[in-house]
Structure 1
Amino acid sequence: MNPNPLFLAVQFTSPGPIIFEIGPLSIRWYGVLIASAVLIGVSLSQYLASRRQIDPELIGDLAIWLVIGAIPCARLYYVAFEWKSYVNDPGSIIAIWKGGIAIHGAILGGLIAALLFAKVKQIPFWPLADVVAPSLILGQAIGRWGNFFNSEAFGRPTDAPWKLYIPPERRPFGYESYDYFHPTFLYESLWNLMVFILLITLFFRGLKGKPPLKPGTIFLVYLGAYSSGRIWIEGLRMDSLMLGPLRIAQLVSLSGIVLGLFGLIWLYGLKRTLPDVVPKSQASNS
């Protein structure tokens, strides 16, 4: 290994998944980060909703639906493609605090929950999606650090200055002799943070009409921008969910890019419109 002190000073080493323990109770970084992401996301979405003249309490109600839809789907999505790891120990399926959730499953579950919520409340879906999208990508940026503490979702071996140390028991089969790997959790977290800055900039420029944004724009940009980063980052990972020789996340990300791009073309190139924002008074009575 390179003995250069500067080189070693910037390597990432996880302190472990547990913050502290009280008797049989373990407080884990993964759970704390997910909870923090949810709380920060709800607060931000409520603020953005108020700027779009949407009742912030409506977002609070939506958040409950999103959590109920997203977290179980994120776990089931992961388990479905990693069934061989759970078939002999089905009780571990519910051990979500140990890691093993798929963000694409969470997005799918949250999308279904949001569509149902909009239908039940009889309000347009797209304005809700626009105020939730920046919070969603910010939450993803925060949540990715759970992978760091769990020593998971890392990439191929590397000797780069920002290398990530992986404990021997967490290394993939055949790579036991390698100490350092690409911190793909970091790459995705930083990418998501850049996407957040893009979305929040578009949001506030849209409020000023510079440029005027149609409902659905922020969500479609989120879909395409996040997927563009995930598709190349996934190529570095060693623990991808697979469908034969294909990486599931890359297939889904490619679909996200196509949907986001064609959605924007449909909105602006074909000059279509989606249902506009719900007046604040109407949202309050829903």
Structure 2
Amino acid sequence: MTDKTSKEMSRDQYSQVGDAYVRSQTHAKGVDLDYLLNMVQPQKDWKVLDVATGGGHTALILAPYVQQVIAVDLTPNMVETAKKFVCDEKGQTNVTFQLADAENLPFEDGSFDLVTCRIAAHHFPACQKFIAESVRVLKQGGLLAVQDHVLPAEENHALYVDQFERLRDPSHFRAYSEQQWRQMFELGGLQVQQTRQLTKRHNFIDWAKRMNCTEETLDELVAMMKNAPNAVKAWQKPFPDADHFGGIETSFVNHHIIVVGRKG
């Protein structure tokens, strides 16, 4: 898969589901947003960049605490949908939206006090380049805060979990373990200040339908869950148990990490 193909897949996929992501309770609410606020401690004079803003929920929660938020996304439909939600529906006046590629940010060096990216980096074909770009546009002492899916440390189990996510969303490029996130931050010149892992439980049907999965894909996802190694089942905690997984009330857990690093 080339970088161009991966980005085109993301753009095409999210052009169709923008409103679903604005209304998604998984993205709009949750203790993870509170954790993120507490970990970065935003200040009134800060200028913030929210990368791959999606439905705009991170920009929305940060806006009351800072001077300005610029929210960017690769997908035109997401930008327009998020702008209507944050600015028109929620009335935030210090948030602006524009198109931008996370790996080629159109901003000058040292422009921002804080760069955020929430539940999006698994789509980036060159995550280390995204980190380098974030560091470039940060001021000295500025913070990069990333929240994303996190994988188990054991490689085979990590590959299985990642494939499960990719089957549901072909624009999913890859996720990383906590150790890999720490290594990428440090390689990018960031001092890791804090990390925090958390879980999110998803209704399986809602989770799959949000990406317009076909019935065939639903069956494949159910089969993956039923045939998963025991360690993966323990990681995903299907309910009811995996042998009965796939009905309208079934759910599973995925794991997230929040990583905050400071530009030295």
TM-score using structure 2 length: 0.28
Higher strand share: 2
The structure showing larger relative contact order (alpha-carbon pairs under 8 Å, at least 6 residues apart) is 1
Larger radius of gyration: 1
TM-score using structure 1 length: 0.26
